[in-house]
């Protein structure tokens, strides 16, 4: 990795910087256990992944809390469970409870000293603002699904974000994208010729499957943000 090649770094946020899978699994698992149903974490996460992709495709401008509530109902139907309205509402409002990975804030702080940082996220504005606070409000460029009227893997996030950066005199070839999702980020970056790094965190799998994921080709892979930043800057 050559830090001199880039003036800006953009990020997929959830899965890359925010550790959302454990909270999603614990919330859904508590509800399923209360109904004395059984499923393992891998199957539950797969159900959630299919559900969110379904509703994102069905209604590209839908706020993410609505996606979460709809995914809850989707999983209930798949497992033939009763919908608990309180659990469903809690799940829909859970974005602010998803914590950063332990290395995210420090890594972003180091990068911000050298690069313009951007976020390309499938979250709505209000929900992302909660996560942005947890990450130290480090992003100068923010592209949400609400702003674009689309969900990745649509290319609109990249087009709009790269346009924002061009207005700051930063051309696309000086921008590096960093992401955990093969489907929603690495493959779209490949399609527009954008340099992209894959953060493949151990034990995390959302975004590793689905249409296009098998064609994703990152230029480099790192197990953590800390490892990526050390390679780039040290």
Structure tokens of 159? 């087009």
Residues 106, 194, single domain; the answer is: yes
Lookup result for tokens 């313009």: 116
Over residues 7-62, the pLDDT tens digits come to 999 999 999 999 999 999 999 988 898 888 888 899 999 999 999 888 988 888 78
Residues 170, 147, single domain; the answer is: yes
pTM: 0.94
pLDDT at 219: 97
Cβ–Cβ < 8 Å for 23, 94: yes
Helix (H, G, I), strand (E, B) or coil at 102: coil
Lookup result for tokens 């947890």: 134
Residue 187: pLDDT over 80: yes
Cβ–Cβ < 8 Å for 69, 92: yes
Residues 110, 136, single domain; the answer is: yes
Total number of domains constituting the chain: 2
Among residues 63, 97, 131, the one where a domain terminates is 97
pLDDT-above-70 percentage for the chain: 100
Over residues 181-193, the mean pLDDT reads 96
Beta-carbon contacts of 55 under 8 Å, excluding residues fewer than 6 positions away, are 62, 66, 67, 70, 71, 74
Expressed as residue numbers, the domain containing 51 is 21-97
pLDDT at 204: 94
Helix ranges, 7-63 (H) = 21-34, 41-58
Residues 111, 183, single domain; the answer is: yes
Lookup result for tokens 């393992």: 40
Provide the edge-to-edge strand list for the sheet that holds 141-143.
Answer: 141-143, 116-120, 8-11, 175-179, 195-199, 220-222
Confidence of residue 232 (pLDDT cuts 50, 70, 90): very high
**In CATH, what number is assigned to the domain containing residue 66?**
1.10.150.750
Left, alpha or beta for 99 (phi > 0: left; psi -120 to 50: alpha)?
beta
Residues 54, 8, single domain; the answer is: no
Over residues 187-195, the mean pLDDT reads 97
Among residues 66, 97, 128, the one where a domain terminates is 97
Catalytic residue among 7, 12, 124, 185: 12
Pairing of strands 175-179, 220-222: unpaired
pLDDT at 101: 98
Residues 229, 115, single domain; the answer is: yes
Residues 130, 206, single domain; the answer is: yes
**Residue 116 phi, psi (nearest 5):** -75, 130
Within 86-174, strands assigned E span 116-120, 141-143
The mean pLDDT of the chain is: 94
pLDDT at 231: 97
Among residues 56, 82, 97, the one where a domain terminates is 97
**In CATH, what number is assigned to the domain containing residue 217?**
3.40.50.1000
pLDDT-above-90 percentage for the chain: 81
pLDDT at 4: 96
Residues 116, 128, single domain; the answer is: yes
Residues 108, 194, single domain; the answer is: yes
Over residues 79-121, the pLDDT tens digits come to 999 898 999 999 999 999 999 999 999 999 999 999 999 999 9
Residues 79, 176, single domain; the answer is: no
pLDDT at 62: 85
pLDDT at 185: 97
pLDDT at 61: 76
Confidence of residue 140 (pLDDT cuts 50, 70, 90): very high
pLDDT at 131: 97
Based on the residue annotation, tell me whether 12 is a catalytic residue of this protein.
Answer: yes
8-state DSSP, 99: P
Residues 110, 193, single domain; the answer is: yes
Residues 85, 168, single domain; the answer is: no
């Amino acid at each position: 990795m050559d830090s001199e090649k880039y003036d800006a770094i953009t990020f997929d946020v959830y899965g890359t910087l925010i550790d959302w899978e454990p909270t999603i699994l614990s919330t859904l698992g508590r509800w399923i256990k209360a109904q004395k149903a059984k499923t393992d974490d891998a199957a539950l996460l797969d159900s959630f992944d299919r559900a969110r992709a379904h509703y994102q495709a069905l209604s590209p401008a839908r706020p993410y809390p609505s996606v979460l509530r709809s995914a809850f109902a989707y999983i209930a139907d798949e497992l033939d469970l009763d919908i608990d309205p309180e659990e469903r509402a809690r799940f829909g409002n859970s974005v602010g409870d998803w914590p950063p990975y332990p290395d995210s804030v420090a890594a972003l702080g180091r990068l911000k000293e050298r690069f313009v940082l951007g976020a390309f996220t499938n979250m709505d504005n209000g929900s992302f603002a909660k996560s942005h606070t947890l990450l130290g409000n480090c992003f100068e460029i923010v592209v949400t699904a609400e702003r674009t009227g689309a969900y990745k893997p649509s290319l609109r996030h990249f087009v709009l974000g790269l346009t924002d950066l061009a207005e700051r005199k930063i051309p696309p070839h000086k921008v590096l994208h960093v992401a955990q999702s093969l489907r929603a980020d690495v493959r779209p970056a490949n399609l527009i010729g954008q340099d992209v790094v894959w953060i493949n965190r151990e034990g995390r799998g959302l975004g590793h499957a689905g249409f296009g994921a098998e064609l994703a080709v990152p230029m480099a892979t790192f197990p953590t943000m800390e490892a990526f930043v050390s390679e780039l800057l040290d």
